[in-house]
Amino acid sequence: MPNPTSKLINVETHILSQQMLHPGASGDFTGLLNDIAFSCKIIAKEVSRAGLVDILGATDQVNIQGETVQKLDDYSNDVMLKFVGRRGQVCMLASEEMDDPVYMTSKNGSDKYIVVFDPLDGSSNIDANVSIGTIFSIYQRISRKGKPTEEDLLQPGRDLVAAGYVIYGSSTMLVYTTGAGVHGFTLDPTIGEFLLSHPDIKTPFDSGTYSVNEGRYNGWSPEIKEIVNSFKTGRAGKDLKGLGARYIGSLVADFHRNLLYGGIFMYPASESAPDGKLRLLYEAAPMAMIVENAGGYASTGYMPISDVIPEKLHQRIPLFIGSRNSVLWVEKQLTEKSKGI
């Protein structure tokens, strides 16, 4: 009888194995990913009991996005600030919930990584107990030493060294990539460990589902309206029959379902949101790295998300992401229409 625990691989062990793939990667990187996983375990505990303690609801603050800050947004941001980079390997932290980055300098640390994160994604769903998540991305600094520069922060997703998210849902799952496949871990609360449950995730090339907030329909361009209608009627490309519609309103939850089952998630530009709603640096770019490493694709509608060079921390960007064939089809439609084809 094989030992039932012989297959248990926790995320710390897996990250170490990933480190072996990157010659010259020091324990710094492994320690950083483990600090992020640790932070999300703490957030997961608070999320699971949010209804029991006075942490539901909104604060009286409005963030730089112009959105009311939820108490759990604040709490999650504080946890990330407290535990991520405490080993001196991080020189800068940037968050959806902070106007500007936080600089960290350590006497004997390597100061070589930058972490950009959305501490809690899908905040509007917290009080309704709908799945929410944390999104993180890791860059290496470009500047040599000292205070990091704007260039260190405004790097394209193509230069990410790692990206991942944790989804706080019916179970808590951590999904991450360092560029060598996408791997999923499910939190076993009885032992407090993220255990490998979804090794080497590959996303279907074709969609069965489209995800978009159709309430924004009137604000879309004619081209976007036609594309979404094509998904409904099955006119969308020869191999795209009519798709099912699924929309949760938490990017992490919509993305995770599409990653596993196949699907295309869209947050297009609209009259009220000319650059779309989602943020490039801490939502679109990390998700683009993950989906590309799972065989999918992420586009602005005209070019790869991963090639966009950010101009500012909280920059928004239209996002089409998921099954490769579906996203490429959308990009082809929009590009041809822009050329009058």
Binding residues vs ligand AHG (CB under 6 A) = 67, 96, 118, 121-123, 213, 249-251, 277
Q: Which range touches Mn ion (CB under 5 A), out of 2-10, 20-28, 91-99, 285-293?
A: 91-99
* Cβ-based nearer residue to ligand AHG, 213 or 221: 213
Exposed, middle or buried by CB within 10 Å (0-12, 13-18, 19+), for 145? exposed
Q: Which range touches Mn ion (CB under 5 A), out of 118-126, 178-186, 198-206, 220-228?
A: 118-126
Q: Is 230 within 8 Å of 236 (Cβ atoms)?
A: yes
Size of the residue set binding Mn ion (CB under 5 A): 4
Least Cβ distance, residue 44 to ligand AHG (angstroms):
17
> Cα dihedral angle (147, 151, 154, 156), rounded to 10 degrees?
-130
Least Cβ distance, residue 322 to ligand AHG (angstroms):
13
* Cβ-based nearer residue to Mn ion, 120 or 253: 120
- Per CB under 5 A, does 96 bind Mn ion? yes
* Cβ-based nearer residue to Mn ion, 118 or 292: 118
* Cβ-based nearer residue to ligand AHG, 193 or 283: 283
- Contact of residue 213 among Mn ion, ligand AHG, none (CB under 5-8 Å per partner type): ligand AHG
* Cβ-based nearer residue to ligand AHG, 29 or 231: 231
**What SS3 state is found at 112?**
coil
Which one of 28, 35, 111, 121 is in contact with Mn ion (CB under 5 A)? 121
End-to-end CA distance of the chain: 64
Q: Which amino acid is at 339?
A: K
Q: How far are the Cα atoms of 116, 148, 151, 156, 247 from residue 313, in angstroms, in the given order? A: 9, 14, 11, 12, 27
- Per CB under 5 A, does 118 bind Mn ion? yes
- Contact of residue 250 among Mn ion, ligand AHG, none (CB under 5-8 Å per partner type): ligand AHG
Distance CA 317, CA 100 (A): 19
CA nearest neighbour of 10 among 184, 136, 155: 184
Distance CA 158, CA 156 (A): 5
CA nearest neighbour of 238 among 260, 206, 262, 212: 206
Cα-atom radius of gyration of the chain, to the nearest Å? 20
Least Cβ distance, residue 272 to Mn ion (angstroms):
18
* Cβ-based nearer residue to ligand AHG, 72 or 138: 72
List residues near Mn ion by CB under 5 A.
96, 118, 120-121
